[in-house]
């Protein structure tokens, strides 16, 4: 046991989704004899509240008190000069107080730097090093490029992401690749549990896990199902997740008379029981980091149809474990689904190969957690 515990302030902007789940997993597995964590969260509801539960009861949990998604912007440009919004100023002042009270040795930003600009400025004032976990693939602004060049370390999700950000001016020497992981044995256990909201699936059931937001492109999936219904009247899709686009998506379903083909399951604590009941997993977003859901589809033995985003090709092997499609290309998505549904042997073999990829070691939770803890301890 270390005589001096390393004090780490973890900052999170999310209310649900992959980044929050990953941080919960990291905090739940940190060696508490070596570290003293604290959390500064935008939100105080849903998965964000679970951050409070997972850390030691004596560990501080600070929040900006948001309960409605999405969070307000922290910056706004006036005459091409960025200024804090009222919310950004609130975050800046809160972070100053939190840092003065907690006195962290390290600040860990669990998201891309834009929303954390206020706490980055606070870190610079107090001369505290910070790590930024780039959980998304974005085009960097000047402020984000400045932030990353001032970070002590930058965690990226794949070798592809490393090259992607290096092309935007981020030094290679600052970046460490840590792949998201999944515990396939635990997933198998979870998959045998009861569904929270039981639903009838068949051998043509599709599934899309993710928040109901424009970047997840559920509207493309509805369009796909609407066209495939002519060939497969019993085809259906499960949407696991909730979000700001739900009302618009439900209207699109009604307008196209697809109420018997599109099911809104909502946010569920455990997606594992649903996935093995389905035939194909979709991830057709226009922007992602290293999507957790692809790993979950693969663990369930599903072929994956995913958009061609940075890092996806390191998980999905074209023609072997699934199909990689252009963003927004409904016709290619339809063609890929047709090819898989036409051959039960192809579908089964893709799923078997997908699980073998997960067992190779790169995408294990053990590898992810050990890499992150090693990085934190050495900054």
Q: What is the DSSP-derived secondary structure letter of residue 156?
A: E
Query: Angle at Cα 233 formed by Cα 230 and Cα 234, nearest 5°?
Result: 150
Domain 6-181+364-378 belongs in CATH node 1.20.210.10: no
Joined tokens for residue 316 = 């999905």
Give the residue from 43, 41, 45, 46 showing the smallest Cα distance to 59.
Answer: 41
Q: Which CATH number fits domain 184-360: 3.40.50.2000, 3.20.20.70, 3.90.1560.10, 3.40.50.300?
A: 3.40.50.2000
Give the residue from 129, 125, 286, 133 showing the smallest Cα distance to 217.
Answer: 286
- The span from the CA of 197 to the CA of 195, in Å, is 5
Residue with tokens 């780039």: 134
Question: Per residue of the chain (379 residues), what is the pLDDT tens digit?
Answer: 556 899 999 999 988 777 888 999 999 888 888 999 999 999 998 888 888 888 877 789 999 999 988 899 999 999 889 999 999 999 999 999 999 999 999 999 999 999 999 999 999 999 999 999 999 889 999 999 999 999 999 999 999 999 999 999 999 999 999 999 999 999 999 999 999 888 999 999 999 999 999 999 999 999 999 999 999 999 999 999 999 999 999 999 999 999 999 999 998 989 999 999 999 999 999 999 888 999 999 999 999 999 999 999 999 999 999 999 999 999 999 999 999 999 999 999 999 999 999 988 789 999 999 999 999 999 9
Q: Could you tell me how far CA 288 lies from the centroid of its own chain?
A: 7
Q: Is 341 exposed, middle or buried (0-12, 13-18, 19+ CB in 10 A)?
A: buried
What is the domain partition of the chain in residue ranges? 6-181+364-378, 184-360
Q: What three-state secondary structure class fits 342?
A: coil
Q: What is the DSSP-derived secondary structure letter of residue 139?
A: P
Same fold, 6-181+364-378 and 184-360: yes
């Amino acid at each position: 046991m270390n005589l001096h515990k390393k004090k780490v302030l973890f900052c999170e902007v999310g209310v649900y989704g992959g980044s929050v789940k990953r941080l919960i997993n990291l905090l739940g597995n940190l060696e508490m004899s070596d570290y003293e964590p604290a959390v500064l969260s935008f939100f105080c509801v849903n998965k964000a509240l679970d951050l409070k539960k997972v850390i030691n009861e004596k560990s501080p949990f600070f929040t900006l008190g948001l309960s409605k998604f999405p969070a307000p912007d922290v910056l706004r440009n006036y005459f091409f000069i960025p200024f804090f919004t009222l919310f950004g100023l609130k975050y800046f002042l809160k972070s100053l107080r939190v840092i003065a009270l907690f006195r962290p040795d390290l600040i860990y930003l669990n998201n891309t730097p834009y929303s954390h600009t206020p706490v980055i400025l606070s870190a610079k004032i107090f001369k505290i090093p910070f790590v930024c976990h780039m959980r998304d693939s974005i085009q960097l602004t000047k402020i984000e490029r400045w932030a990353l060049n001032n970070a002590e370390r930058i965690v990226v999700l794949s070798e592809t992401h490393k090259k992607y950000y290096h092309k935007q001016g981020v030094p290679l020497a600052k970046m460490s690749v840590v792949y998201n992981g999944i515990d396939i044995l635990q997933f198998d256990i979870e998959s045998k549990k009861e569904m929270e909201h039981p639903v009838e699936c068949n051998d043509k059931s599709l599934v899309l896990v993710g928040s109901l937001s424009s970047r997840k492109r559920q509207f493309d999936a509805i369009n796909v199902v609407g066209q495939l219904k002519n060939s497969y009247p019993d085809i259906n899709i499960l949407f696991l997740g909730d979000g700001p686009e739900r009302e618009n998506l439900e209207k699109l379903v009604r307008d196209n008379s697809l109420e018997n083909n599109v099911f809104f399951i909502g946010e569920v604590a455990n997606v594992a029981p649903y996935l093995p009941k389905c035939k194909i997993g979709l991830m057709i977003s226009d922007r992602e980091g290293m999507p957790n859901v692809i790993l979950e589809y693969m663990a369930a033995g599903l072929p994956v149809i995913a958009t061609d985003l940075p890092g996806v090709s390191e998980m999905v092997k074209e023609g072997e474990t699934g199909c990689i499609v252009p963003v927004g290309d409904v016709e290619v998505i339809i063609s890929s689904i047709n090819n898989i549904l036409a051959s039960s042997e192809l579908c089964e073999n893709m799923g078997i190969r997908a699980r073998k990829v997960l067992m190779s070691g790169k995408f294990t939770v053990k590898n992810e957690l050990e890499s992150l803890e090693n990085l934190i301890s050495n900054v």
